[in-house]
A and B are shown apart, each in its own frame.
Chain A
Amino acid sequence: MTMLKEGRPTAPTPVEEAHMAPATATGNRALMLEEKLIFEIGSTDTTGVDFAVSPAVDSRLGNLARTDAIGLPGLSEQETVRHYTRLSRQNYAIDLGLFPLGSCTMKHNPRLNEKVARMPGFADIHPLQPQSTVQGALGVINELAVWLIKLTGMHGVAMTPKAGAHGELCGLLCIRAALEARGDARQVVLVPESAHGTNPATAAFCGYKVEDIPATPDGRVDLEALKARLGPDVAAVMITNPNTCGLFERDMKVISDAVHAAGAFVYCDGANFNAIVGRVRPGDLGVDAMHINLHKTFSTPHGGGGPGSGPVVLSEALAPFGPLPYTARMEDGSIHLIEEENVGAEMPQSFGRMSAFHGQMGMFTRALAYILSHGADGLRQVAEDAVLNANYVLRSLDDVLDAPFGASGPCMHEALFSDKGLAEGFTTLDIAKGLIDEGFHPMTMYFPLVVHGAMLVEPTETESKAALDQFILALRSLAERAKAGDEALKGAPYHAPRRRLDETLAARKPVLSWIDPDLAEAAE
């Protein structure tokens, strides 16, 4: 057989730039496909599922049968797969590249964890099955609890909180219950200016008055100001350590001692635990309660905004007040779930239940698989590599970007820059949107609030040096353009599925659900 050697060459011939990208009839751009809403492409009599024919029975619905049109469009299975696959391609994700959102710990999500969570023995069990039929599930909760207690050097752990902010709520409720148990009605919670917004929101949600603690010029809690404010009305101090400037609170133990001496408790926001896991135990620093975001430190996926999981480790003083239910290993090796029924004898001071059922089981299995994979030695390496990567970014860019606390020493797991030195009219937002065109998710912008035009970069330990180098190259180029006043940067992004979106319009005239055009027309 003779080989056909006259292939058709596909090397592009140069064309005028103006001819490079004519508009297409469909609005699609090759692999970038526009996708309409299901309300525009589906219909209420289309379905992608089939069921057996219902047996004929006498209805027991009373007079409540739903007769109105619901307005839920359906698609065939093929159309459904295509709709969501097309939409997925308009998202940036860790699977695509470095995702340096400070404070969010966007690390790689190992797929073993997904496989484990889907084992029928975990995915297909009901929370109210008799306990004899769910011993393995209770075993997972208990095993993870032991790890979290030992990794943090604490006394107990509440496993049920459903995310970080829910964990904060749990910790503050423990504190309030402990104070009330000793007849102490304190009303104030102190929160540093640099705290996550959830901290003051949580304290207010539990009925506390929130007061700010100022920061020092080197980005840490002002110890003297804090000591001066402590008094018999202060219930707790909420501290993030490492803090939101990416720095370790050197005075943490001194702070804890002062807070305890004043009769109050220390709540630590554990969002940044990834920086110290395996190297530092919060229990050694005098912390009374700390939530752990399993979706940050322990790699459970963020899923476009959850689900999370926020177990709270507790000191000996607070553990008796933790929420229901919880697991306990019995002498015969079986694991019991302590619920309302048996709590009286086991934990009479529990503040009660804060969600239905037993917490985020699907996150527990993933987190446990991750923890077992790394082990005690690997988790220590996680913290070291996370801190190493952040410092590498900091020191590779501090000649072109202002690093407000760069002079005071190393950072922890995140590198903080400000907009100081950018040309007049150029902002952090311009750099962030420029990063999109360079193929990266932007860093956290304008947070923490204590730094002007903050850019908080958290690379995490799961980035290779090559990936970091490419990110540094991109950010360096953008910093230079913003300092040189390159006006084109203000239009970025140019290459994303959408240009900058009008958020003001969205808030001024909120359109929060689809309205059929003919109905909208009829209403006008």
Chain B
Amino acid sequence: MTKEQRDILIFTAFGLVVLVTPLLLQGNYLLNVFVFIGINTMLAVALNLLLGFAGQISLGHAAFFGLGAYISGILTTRYAIDPWMAMVAAAVCVGVMAFIIGFPILKLKGHYLAMATLGFGIIMYIVFNETVAWTGGPSGMSGIPNLALGPLIFDSDMTNYYLIWVFTLLTMLLSINLANSRIGRALRAIHDSEVAARVMGVNVRLLKVQIFTVSALISALAGSFYAHTMTFIAPASFGFNFSVELVTMVIIGGLGSIYGSFLGAAILTLLPEFLRVFHDFDIVIYGLLLIVMTMFMPGGLIGGFEALAAAIKRRKEA
């Protein structure tokens, strides 16, 4: 079996499990949690393209998520624009914005890049809070319409689940394709040695900005989906803590692993549901996870599984 065939098989199996899951969970509140896992997976995959593949950190991705949500919310509630159109508009606006700020931001490296994206995130968070006339300020914005396809309105957990997961699966599939292409290789090359990538003809500067744009665009789409499924948004969901949570998801799952991003998103979304105590401890646990994973398991859970599988295989052969 070639690697490509194996990838297709794994993705098909994953997709089937995702599509069948709600049938087993009918009427269960967990279905609603799974909708959030879908949105968070989209976000984590988007961030992973930048952080895991190109090795460029962003501590401001919650801002793109928020921008998508607010642009969708404002266009639909104030200007009665069709939610799908609003979504496209949000994605285009955020994409253009990311492309423009991408050039100066991605000129920076390492710690400086982290600070700049963090600064950008906080500025946007302040804007969400202060432009009360548009966003409703800290108390949020309500009455955002649901998405609809003809007579089918996505307003229940079940319909939302399928809506979100169809797009999440699509995001994952496209990202997997990208990872195994010349663009994905060029991105990983940048991560390993920027100078060697340049000498081999990779336009490092442009490619970084491009992947930053794609990543921001997917995050904005996730934001639109979030706005239209929740119908209520407030700045608190788009702050610094959420940016860090997204980074944590990517790190836990494994840098550069698309399924890892799903795993990270699922764990960080489910844990607070199962462990009530987690509510008070969540930030401490995120902190610990970030440190411990980076120090002892830099490949994340997926990397850990792979290492384990390889070790078992070696032992069998020996």
Is this pair of chains taken from one and the same complex?
A: no
List residues of A whose CB falls within 8 A of some B CB. Answer: none
